[in-house]
Every structure is written in C-alpha cells, then in structure tokens.
Structure 1
Amino acid sequence: MGVSQGFWHHELWLPPGATWEDLKESADTHYPQPQDLLLCIPGALLLIFVRCLFERTVALPLGRGLGVSDKRRPKVQPNTTLEGFYVLLGRTPKEEDLISLAKQSDLPIKKVETWFRHRRAQDHPRLMKKFCEASWRFIFYFTSFFSGLALLYDKPWFWDPTVCWLKFPQQPLPPALGWFYLLELSFYCSLVATLPFDVKRKDFKEQIIHHIATITLIFVSYCANMIRFGMMVMLVHDASDYILEFAKMLHYLKWQRVCDAVFIAFAVVFIVSRLVVFPLVVYYYFVTKLPLFPVSCLINAFLVVLQLLHIFWSYLIIHMIFSVILRGEKRQDARSDTEESDGSEAEDPAKNQE
C-alpha cells in the first residue's frame, strides 16, 4: 500500500500546488482514471483479432484482385546438418563454417552456400504478407487521423496552443477523447505484441524504442490529465502515417510512378509535421507553459527520443528521394526486410519509416 501511495503521490504526477483532490469527479465532470487504461489489454487483443479478420477477408482478396503476386522460390533440399546450423548458430555461416559444413554434409562449398541462400529466401516474408500488413495500418492510421481531426477541429486549444494548458490540470475529459486515447494505446500495444510475427525491418530496434516511447507517453499523459497535449501529439504523428502505408501498398502493386508521387507527398507532410509543427509548436508550448515536475521531465525525455527518431527517419526519407526518385539509382531499402539482398522483393528505403 505504501509503495502504491508513493507511486501515485500528487507531487510526482501533478504540477506544484495541484493535488488529486483537484481532479475529483462529480456527476457532471469526468477526469482521467488510471484504471481505465487496463481496458487496453482486451482492446489490443480485439484489434489483433480484427486485423487477422481484415487481412484474410479484405486485404488478401484485394491484393490478389489488384495483381499482387509472390515470386516463386527455389525449394530447399532437406539437410539435417545444415538445418541444425541454420536454426541454432546463424543464417549466414562464415567461410570456416562453410568448409566444415561442406565436409560434414559431403557437399561442395558452393552447394552449401546456395543451400543457405535459398533457405534464407524461404524465410523471407512474402510480398502478399507485406501488402496485407500495409493495408491494415493504412486503414487504422487513416481512420485514426481523420477521427482525431473531427474530434479536435472545434476545440479552441487545437487552433491556439496557448489555451492547451489553460487551468491545467483541472481540464475535464470529454468521453470521446478518452475512448480515442484508449484506442491509440490499444493499437500500439497490439503492434508490440505482433512484432515477432510481422515483417522484420532493419530498423527493428528503432521500432521497439518508438513503440515503448509512444506507449509510455500515452499512459503517463493520460494519468496526469495531459489529454489536450497528448491529442495534439498523436494527431501530428498520424498526419503522415496513412500516406506512408498507402505508398507501400502502391509499391507492392508495382505502380511505381504513382507510388513515387505519393511518397513525395508523404515526405513533405512528414517533415513539416515532425520537424516543424511538432518541435516548434507542440513541444515549444509544452516546455514554456508547463512548470517542471517529475512526470513533465519524464515526458520531456521521451519527446526528445521521438524527435531524434524523427530526424533519423527524415534523413532516410530525404536520401530516398534524392538517390532513387530523382537520380534513378537502384532501389535498396535502408529499412528493408532482413536478408533483402538475397534476391527477394526489394523495398524502398524510408518507405517503412515507422
């Protein structure tokens, strides 16, 4: 009990001078309740179920109808020795390992190399799987962004960030914003749960950092009643995500000219929203209008982490535009799937930014 009381002490979560009594609910006024966030667990499970249903009944037939097809991959001859090494020790053996495996298998070194190359290709995610994943994220981000826009367009603090912190933390929570918060938290929890099964990108570690930072920010900002600020942050981030997923879908369909045009639109929206609006408007008023207290410092640290990721992904996006779209160089994704170089379907570099 003492640990719980210490964790939820008002001096940690609220600005100086404010207490939990200031956020006491009444019949007409509702404030965020931390226990509400427990609903994100069944919410995440429900979203995973809906995603599986959507991919099988909508995305898969849509992809087939539009011409998405997987490349035929060479069959791998069963070999216990090579399979054991592949599973237990690594997918790309070194030269000395190849020599040893060739002797154990009584095969030429070239055939051992070919076996591992084909085996890696066998594990590489199919183009249809990528299309289905992109379709699901497109639907969610598109719905999330325009739903958030519909919820906020008539709010004065959406157009004037100075109003965002007016009378904080005594800002009643509209039920619709509470449900939107819960939906976003459930979605990112579902992404973390499905990471081991989704297409693995080269920036897998950055993805994990991003998801952890996002989940932490949603959880903490809800408990501290920073709903207005949190909604602004989520809307700024959702503004470009659905365009990115749409560009991926076009790429998998091999509609490259349309894909390039959509990707450039994505790049403009991403850079403006993440490198201009987010730091100079949303983050600026967070730093200047809110006094320092433990939770605000924690949120500030995770916002800086997100901004560093924005800069990293912006570099990939700009590099993609100049090297591939404008100069016509060979496409090779800096965020592509692992083992991309083994001849499977290539993917555009920053087209998978987050």
Structure 2
Amino acid sequence: MGLAEWFWHHEYWLPPGATWEDMKDTAGSHYPQPQDLLLCLPGALILTTTRLIFERTIALPLGRRLGVRDKLRPPAQPNAMLESFYLQLGRTPRQEELLFLAKQSHLSLRKVQTWFRHRRGQDQPRLLQKFCEASWRFTFYLISFFSGLALLYDKPWVWDHNLCWVRYPQQPLPPALGWFYLLELSFYCSLVATLPFDVKRKDFKEQILHHIATITLISVSYCANLIRFGVMVMLVHDASDYILELAKLLHYLRWRLLCDAAFVAFALVFISSRLLLFPWLTYHYFVTKFQLFPISCLINLFLLVLQLLHIFWSYLIIQMIYSIIFQGEKRKDARSDTEESERSEAEEPARARAEPAQSQG
C-alpha cells in the first residue's frame, strides 16, 4: 500500500461501514472531493488582491475623510552602532546596555534613550494602516456572517441536531454551502499569508495557533463531508468577529460612546457564543450523536484547542472590563487589538521617568 493510498484509506476518514464509493458524484448529487481544497490557493490570492484594492480605494480614503490621522513621529538620526544593536539584540535595551551604548557612541544617555524611542516609533504600525486592516476584516466578517445565516436559516438540520447525521456520509453538498466553505478556507489562508505584513498584536502566537487549527478543521471536515456541522461552527465564530472589528474602527475614530457600546456588544456575543453555544454545539451535534473514528478524534482535538483559545480570550475580555469599570483604566482595543508596539509606546514615559539620568495598533 502506497503512502497516498494509506493516507486516504476510508477507515481513517469515514465512519465504520462507509467507503469512498459512497462519496462518488451521481446524477444530480455532488459530494465534497479532497481535490476541491486546491481552490483555496487561487481563492486566497484573489482575496488578498481584493483586500489590497479595497484598502487603497475604499478604506484609506474613508479613514482620511473621517479624520483618522497618523501621528507625526520624528525619525531616528542615522547611527550604525545603535541600529545594529536595535536589529540584532533588542528594541528596548536595559539600563546597563544604554550606559554602554552611550559611552561607545559618545552620546549622552538621554540622546540614546531618545534614539531608541524614535526608532521604535518608526516600526510602529500607523493608525491608518490599522484602520484599513480592521475595515477589511469587518467587511468580510459581516458579509460572511449574514451570508451564512441566509444559507442556513431554512435548513431543518440546523434546528434539529438529530437530522444533522441522517444518512451520513451520503449527504449531497449544496453548491452554495460548498462555495461558502471554500471561501472561509481561502480567507484564513490569506490571513496566514499576510501575517508578516499585518499589525502584530499581543496575542500573535495565539492567533497563529487559531489559524492553524481553523484551516485544519475546515480542510479535514470538508474531506470527511462534515459540512453541516462545520458550517454551523463557522457561523458561531463569525457572530462576534465583525463586532470586534467594528469596535476597533470606532476606537480609531475616537468615537468613545459608540466604541463602548460596540465593545459591550462584542463581549456579550463573544462570551455567549464561544463559551456557551460553541461547546453545546460541539457536544450535542458531534460528541453525543456521532460515532468516533480517527478523523473525528482529530477534529475533537482541534475543537478543544479552539475552546482553550476561547477561554484565554474571554479571560482577557473580562479582565479588560474589570479594569475599566473598577479601576478606571483607559479603553484599549478589545482582545487581540492591543498591539505590542502600542504597549511599548505607552510604557515608555513611565520607564523614562524611572531612569536616573532621564530629565515601549
């Protein structure tokens, strides 16, 4: 048995008693085929191109018209030694390193500190860049969520989970659901492709793990024809994502009251959908009504990964709400929108005041 034949053996991908023969297209009935997933590659390219066009022709002019302006940041003066340290050893040198650099560069400690502050400022994402990125994601998530609702509202298996597995895996794939599935996969592939260029956020590692888990779940569930279950999981996730991006946009626009309202709505929808509806959905639709086989065990593992991420992000959201209500801290962007660069910039004044010789979205 060859490697490919072993990998695609029906005992791994389908429940006991089912074979790939049951998944062959017949007259008037189409079933998911693994090769369909290759469409996500040109799909990701198309979405990335669409995003670039959208950001330049719609989001950027809209942001400027609404008053979004980048802060004027003084450039760091050219200095080869400091630049080498910045690139190779770190963006925020310790006190003893600052003293050493000041001595070697024949500059005062204050000037070295100022140089690193200005140099970090050069690498921070611009406000317009963050506005454009949030605009694109808000638009996609909004369209995706309400398109998913339109596709699912009249499906009887959405409202009765017992119907979700009738005649599985011989469940023909409606073309609209198939394209919706591949569109979601293409979008997450495009997010991975643009990670090096997007705003790097405080939960960057968690976002990478989330994208890997999501792409794996979409791909595997498509091959195993778990479309009905998979599309409901997608809809649960999209329910809060567009509200998060809306809250970011309002934050960048400094529309405080609307931002607060959007943030509260996001927190309520996120926690209720990710900590209540998602585990209920996976338990009732997948665990209790579905016979386990190798791929379903793998899906359960990645669903658990997603649930742990949901708990982590919910903790951050609750912590943020607590800080705002009981400690009066200034509003920051929800969940993953607290960029490392912004945190460093906010910490810089306090760190500077702590230095003995001083007069880090």
Kindly provide the amino acid, as one letter, of the partner of residue 124 in structure 1.
Answer: Q
Distance 2:325 2:66 in 1: 24
Distance 1:260 1:240 in 2: 15
Deviation at 1:249, TM superposition (A): 0.3
TM-score of the aligned structures, taking structure 1 as reference length: 0.94
Q: 1:332 to 1:26 in 2, by over 3 A?
A: closer
Hey, what does 2:9 align to over in structure 1? 9
| Rounded Cα–Cα distance in structure 2 between residues aligned with 1:101 and 1:278 | 53
TM-score when normalising by structure 2: 0.92
1:314 maps onto 2:314 in alignment: yes
The 2-side partners of 1:342 and 1:205 are apart by 18
Deviations 1:290-343 (A, max 9, x none): 111110000000000000111111111112222215653234567411132344
Alignment partners' CA distance in 1, 2:343 and 2:243 = 26
Gapped runs of 5+ residues in structure 2?
348-360
**2:339 corresponding residue in structure 1:** 337
Report deviation, 1:51.
0.2
- Is residue 229–residue 285 contact of structure 2 (8 Å, CA) maintained in 1? no
Shift of 1:159: 1.1
Q: How does 1:270-349 map to 2 (within 5 A)?
A: 270-325=270-325, 327-332=327-332, 335=336, 336-343=338-345
Q: Deviations over 1:166-204 (max 9, x none)?
A: 111111001111100110000000000001100000110
In structure 2, the residue matched to 1:187 is 187
Structure 1 SS opposite 2:73: coil
Q: C-alpha separation between the residues in 2 aligned to 1:297 and 1:144?
A: 28
Alignment-mate amino acid for residue 161 of structure 1: H
In 2, Cα distance between equivalents of 1:94 and 1:252: 32
Secondary structure at 1:339 match in 2: helix
User: Match of 2:352?
Assistant: none
Q: Which residue of 2 aligns with 1:349?
A: none
Deviates more, 1:264-273 or 1:212-221: 264-273
Deviations 1:39-73 (A, max 9, x none): 10111011010000000000001101111111111
* Matching of residue 105 in structure 1 with residue 76 in structure 2: no
Q: For residues 64-111 of structure 1, what are the alpha-carbon distances to aligned partners after superposition, in whole Å with 9 as ceiling and x for unaligned?
A: 111111111122111111011111221112233222211221111221
Q: Does the aligned pair in 2 maintain the 1:121–1:344 contact within 8 Å?
A: no
Could you say what the CA RMSD is over the residues aligned between the two structures, in angstroms?
Answer: 1.6
What residue identity is the alignment partner of 1:44? A
> 2-side partners of 1:255 and 1:328: how far apart?
18
**Residue pairs, 1:122-133, within 5 angstroms:** 122-133=122-133
Aligned partner of 2:56: which letter?
A: R
- Return the alpha-carbon distance in structure 2 between the equivalents of residues 103 and 328 of structure 1: 42
Identity %: 73
- Determine if contact 1:40/1:185 at 8 Å carries over to the other structure: yes
C-alpha separation in 2, matches of 1:292 and 1:204: 33
Q: For residues 136 and 278 of structure 1, what CA distance do their matches in structure 2 show?
A: 25
Kept in 2: contact 1:232–1:282 (CA 8 A) = no
Distance 2:95 2:188 in 1: 41
Q: Which moved further from structure 2: 205-214 or 85-94?
A: 85-94
Alignment partners' CA distance in 1, 2:295 and 2:200: 33
Counterpart residue type for residue 251 of structure 2: H
Amino acid at match of 1:129: Q
In structure 1, what is the Cα distance between the partners aligned to 2:141 and 2:51? 13
Aligned residue number for residue 93 of structure 1: 93
Corresponding letter in the other structure for 2:155? K
* Structure 1 contact 201–338 (Cα < 8 Å) conserved: yes
Aligned positions of 1:1-354 closer than 5 A: 2-325=2-325, 327-332=327-332, 335=336, 336-343=338-345
What is the one-letter code of the residue matched to 1:171? Answer: Q
**Structure 1 pair 319/193, CA: closer, same or farther in 2 (3 Å)?**
same
Checking the alignment, whether the CA contact within 8 Å between 2:240 and 2:269 is kept in structure 1 is: yes
Cα distance in 2, alignment partners of residues 5 and 315 from structure 1: 44
Distance (whole Å) between structure 2 residues aligned to residue 209 and residue 88 of structure 1:
26
- Name the CA distance, whole Å, in 2 between partners of 1:80 and 1:190: 36
Q: For the Cα contact (< 8 Å) 2:141–2:238, is it kept in 1?
A: yes
Shift of 1:117: 1.2
Determine the structure 1 residue equivalent to 2:355. Answer: none
